[in-house]
């Protein structure tokens, strides 16, 4: 649960953020992400994550790496809450890559219907499951290189599976997480989007808790999904408000 606290004016409510300032990127670090601030961010986020973790099927301890991989493929541009019952049913019916690879697309498509684009998603899952069977003996590989070799698995999904299913120190970065980094560390949006994206990935890897990557990544997703939302973020109950450049400006 996220506990609302009174903001500095003593009122409950969401805070309207000022327009983002454009600051130059520095050569030694991105925005205001100094080593001391990175360390504070990590510590605060992990502590908040422990107390505010959202419960999802794919976060349960006995969920297989295959369940995590299927989730990461389906959750693209889809709310986690919508994906949850679908993944639960899909994994109940097709517990491993061999079963999914042999399934009739129509039966997978029926399960995926609530998510939309169900035929396309069904084809996509079957291709991925077949690749797992052919290339990796029906197992989900643990290395980033092997995960990236699977169809429709990009950097985000590969890192998410490696960290969540195998506890490896791999960061994740999506629009929600990038938004938090940009706000906290005054990272400007520039026209050089690819360069900034690369730098954001570098920052994400530096901030990640190498000891607790799974919990850190979950906490980032939970903060971006429930507190540091795109419009009218709940700064008054954000654990990072004291160090957030955008809130303090
Ligand atoms: S990180 Fe926290 S304080 Fe900063 S903008 Fe987001 S919700 Fe507000």
DSSP for 12-75, please give it: -S--PPPPPP--PPPSSSSTT--HHHHHHHHHHHHHHHHHHPPP-GGGSTT--HHHHHHHHHHT
Q: Is the CB of 223 under 6 A from ligand 1?
A: no
Q: Is the CB of 240 under 6 A from ligand 1?
A: yes
CA distance 126 to 70: 10
Ligand 1 centroid – CA 153 distance (Å): 30
Q: Are 67 and 160 in contact (CB under 8 A)?
A: no
Q: Is the CB of 241 under 6 A from ligand 1?
A: yes
Low-confidence ranges of the chain (pLDDT < 70): 1-28, 189-196
CA distance 7 to 56: 30
CA distance 41 to 23: 20
Give the pLDDT of residue 59.
95
Give the pLDDT of residue 150.
96
pLDDT by residue (tens digit) across 223-243? 999 999 999 999 999 999 999
Q: Which domains, and CATH codes, for the chain?
A: 17-54+170-248 (1.10.1670.10), 57-166 (1.10.340.30)
Give the pLDDT of residue 196.
64
Ligand 1 probe mutation, 19, 246, 248, most atoms within 8 A of CB: 246
pLDDT by residue (tens digit) across 27-67? 457 889 999 999 999 999 999 999 999 999 999 999 999 99
CA distance 249 to 247: 6
Q: Are 218 and 165 in contact (CB under 8 A)?
A: no
Q: Is the CB of 237 under 6 A from ligand 1?
A: no
> Phi and psi for 66 in degrees, rounded to 5?
-65, -40
Ligand 1 centroid – CA 140 distance (Å): 36
Ligand 1 centroid – CA 66 distance (Å): 34
Question: Six-digit token pair at 94?
Answer: 């097709």
Give the pLDDT of residue 28.
58
CA distance 176 to 224: 5
């Amino acid at each position: 649960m996220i506990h609302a606290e009174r903001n500095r004016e003593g009122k409950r409510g969401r805070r309207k953020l000022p327009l983002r300032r454009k600051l130059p990127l520095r050569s030694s670090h991105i925005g205001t992400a100094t080593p001391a601030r990175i360390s504070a961010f990590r510590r605060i986020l992990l502590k908040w994550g422990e107390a505010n973790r959202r419960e999802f099927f794919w976060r349960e301890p006995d969920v297989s790496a295959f369940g995590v991989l299927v989730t990461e493929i389906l959750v693209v541009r889809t709310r986690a809450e919508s994906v949850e019952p679908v993944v639960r049913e899909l994994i109940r019916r097709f517990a491993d890559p061999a079963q999914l690879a042999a399934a009739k697309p129509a039966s997978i498509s029926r399960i995926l219907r609530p998510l939309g684009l169900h035929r396309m998603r069904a084809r996509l899952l079957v291709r991925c499951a077949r690749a797992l069977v052919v290339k990796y003996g029906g197992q989900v590989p643990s290395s980033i290189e092997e995960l990236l070799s699977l169809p429709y698995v990009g950097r985000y999904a590969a890192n998410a599976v490696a960290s969540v299913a195998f506890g490896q120190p791999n960061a994740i970065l999506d629009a929600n997480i990038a938004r938090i980094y940009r706000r906290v560390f005054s990272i400007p949006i520039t026209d050089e989007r690819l360069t900034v994206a690369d730098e954001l990935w570098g920052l994400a890897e530096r901030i990640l808790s190498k000891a607790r990557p799974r919990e850190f990544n979950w906490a980032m997703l939970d903060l971006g999904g429930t507190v540091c939302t795109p419009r009218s973020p709940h700064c008054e109950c954000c654990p990072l408000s004291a160090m957030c450049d955008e809130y303090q400006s």
